Structure 1
Amino acid sequence: MQQFAIIFLSILLEALPFVLIGTIISSLIEIFISREWLANHLPQKSILAFLIAGLAGIIFPVCECAIVPIMRRLVKKGMPIGVAVTFMLATPTINPVVLLSTHYAFPDNIYFPLLRGGLGYLTALTVGLIMAFLSEKSDLKAVKQKSDYVHNANCGCAHNDHHDHETEEHCTCIHDEHDHIHEDADHECSCGHSHATRKDGIFPILKSILLHTSNELYEVGRFLIFGVLISATMQTFVPREYFLALSKNPALSIVMMMTLAFVLSLCSEADAFIAATFRGNLSNSSIIAFLLFGPMMDIKNMLMLAGGFKARFIIRLIATIGLVVFIFSSISAFLF
């Protein structure tokens, strides 16, 4: 049980800072980015939107623990699901911190970081395009807010008037009594308010950020803890030798390493060091599969996604990621 406790705490402590970063960024997106801004700055119905979403990971150094709440918030803000999926999958795979850690884990083979970055981008782009055809807006769950700050029309403002809500999320308005904070004429909160110039100062803004962050952290954190619990249980009670016995078949070893990545639920900044321990025992293509699949989908990410998306969407997403990663990992065997 001591080993279980150590593994549980290590995974949790490793993931929590990135989850906190993600929820803070998610809150900033909720407050400062409107549907109009996304519509004006992202070509949502062209291949360019997917290309840009995938490349955003290069300048966004967070792992998969942090990106799930951001992706959910972007979808709720109006970003097409396929584009958001591309962003979610590419960011923890191709960001500079992850590629640098991969280089340090495999210092004698530059192909591992290069293939992780290149194939990671192609995988994210391919899965995003496929999910654009397989997904629909109804895949997103309606989120009901807690009664302590939800009033009348399910918004964070204590308004007595009625609003036309596109979602059940609370409003991002910050106000004293019934006065809104207005940022600009184009700003729109999640319950359809139009805003002008912000005038209440920095403290109400910080209060709203903390409110959104705490709510998002509560919602995501419960799934994270459950996922870490399952992952720690598997790492403690399933000997690694059982997985290694399956590695004689190349295709089976790829599937096995994807399964292991899914179960271990490691942050992408650290998983390369775990993958490096399998060198010599498993094929390079199966290690690439581990490095690609883990950041894109694991137990804790699946459970965090369950807080915002319906089961049918998650099943389709996992199956699509698995198929695409399997194909690209098999191809990578000819690139070493």
Structure 2
Amino acid sequence: MTQQILPGDEIDWAAPPPKDPGPPRRKPFGDRIGSVEVLAVLLVLLVIFRNPIAGLISDPALQTWTTVFVSVMVQAVPFLVFGVLLSAVIAVFVPRSFWAKALPRHPALAVPVASVAGVILPGCECGSVPIAGSLIRRGVTPAAALAFLLAAPAINPIVLAATAVAFPNNPEMVVARAVASLIVAMLMGWLWLRLGKTEWIKLPHRPDLEGVSKARAFWAAVRHDITHAGGFLVVGAMAAATINVVVPEAWLQSLAAQPVLAVLALAVLAVLLSICSEADAFVAASLSQFSLTARLAFLVVGPMVDLKLISMQAGMFGRRFTTRFAPATFVAAVIVASGVGLVLL
């Protein structure tokens, strides 16, 4: 390869001639594998093993697993999208100064205010996770954001109306659910103020939203949160479907006659079933062999601690946070629900 010399160019005769770069290097095979290649391989495998796969699909247990998985996803995805859109609005269009004015400056007072503010979010726990993450990014104290995260799915008007419809002969269940959920949310917020550490929360890196138009920043935030939270939602839905198939229903019936074990059984069941808060009241009403207090524990625990919610919290806030926050929330929810049930039910 020769260098073309134009008139007027100064020539450095001492400089070595430029080296020929040669043909461009090809990327290693592993670096060239993308989603299209993976999809092509999966399609080929489906064609080759179509007969064994057809036999598996006809199995009743797998049909039950598929039904539960699809049900969880259909219930959760609309509210996840709603939460992600609202989270992007908070991140892009709401200035940081707004939160300083909307919430009390003292963190201990901000916790109950944020808990009560959950009544304005018409969604389930899937939408509250990205919103809480966005609030923390915008400077809201984590204690207040976490209180909002726990309260919003349980005390919003849609959930309370569904609870009233599911328990037409027990209107006190609506009051008990709202009171118990608010108490747990505030307790966990204050507990975080007392014992929580900032390094436990590790929010995923978000694309830099500064220096770009608001429209581009909005869609960048939406794409990031949908990809991040949606993947963990799928994992949680798969785990919930597996538990539904594995756990025998007879176990629950044998526990219903023992008051203390009944409360714990339905609390654990709420974690495993991972039903969205808009629909869990109807499931609780169907468990008529259990006491109202045990069913209240089901309604309080479910929107705060379930498999899909634990997965999404791990993806949004990190594993160090989730391994501490989820068990503590479960214990607080069971204790508070039991106490409120004894008083109001």
Distance 2:283 2:308 in 1: 18
Of 217, 242, 252, which residue of structure 2 is paired with 1:233?
Answer: 242
Question: How many residues of Structure 1 are paired with residues of Structure 2 in the alignment?
Answer: 283
Q: CA deviation at 1:218?
A: 0.2
Q: CA deviation at 1:46?
A: 4.2
Within 5 Å, which residues of 2 pair with 1:107-122? Answer: 107-122=168-183
Q: Aligned residue for 2:153?
A: 92
Distance 1:227 1:238 in 2: 16
Q: Aligned residue for 1:81?
A: 142
Within 5 Å, which residues of 2 pair with 1:147-296? Answer: 169-173=206-210, 175=212, 204-279=213-288, 281-296=289-304
Contact 1:44–1:79, Cα closer than 8 Å, also in 2: no
Distance 2:334 2:82 in 1: 31
Q: How well do the aligned residues superpose, as a CA RMSD in angstroms?
A: 1.6
Gaps of 5+ in 2: 1-61
Q: CA deviation at 1:248?
A: 2.9
Distance 1:121 1:142 in 2: 25
Structure 1 length normalisation: TM-score? 0.80
Tell me, yes or no, if structure 1 residue 28 matches structure 2 residue 89. Answer: yes
Contact 1:82–1:129, Cα closer than 8 Å, also in 2: yes
Distance 1:174 1:258 in 2: 47
Q: Aligned residue for 2:28?
A: none
Gaps of 5+ in 1: 145-168, 176-203
Q: Aligned residue for 2:20?
A: none
Distance 2:268 2:122 in 1: 25
Q: Which amino acid aligns with 1:291?
A: L
Paired-residue identity, %: 33
Pair member with larger Rg: 2
Q: Aligned residue for 1:308?
A: 316
Q: Aligned residue for 1:130?
A: 191
Contact 1:261–1:293, Cα closer than 8 Å, also in 2: yes
Distance 2:121 2:171 in 1: 22
Distance 2:103 2:166 in 1: 36
Tell me, yes or no, if structure 1 residue 298 matches structure 2 residue 306. Answer: yes
Distance 1:321 1:142 in 2: 20
Structure 2 length normalisation: TM-score? 0.78
Q: Which amino acid aligns with 1:173?
A: E
Q: Which has the higher helix share?
A: 2
Q: CA deviation at 1:237?
A: 2.6
Q: CA deviation at 1:315?
A: 2.4
3-state DSSP of counterpart to 1:333:
helix
Q: 1:46 to 1:79 in 2, by over 3 A?
A: closer
Contact 1:135–1:313, Cα closer than 8 Å, also in 2: no
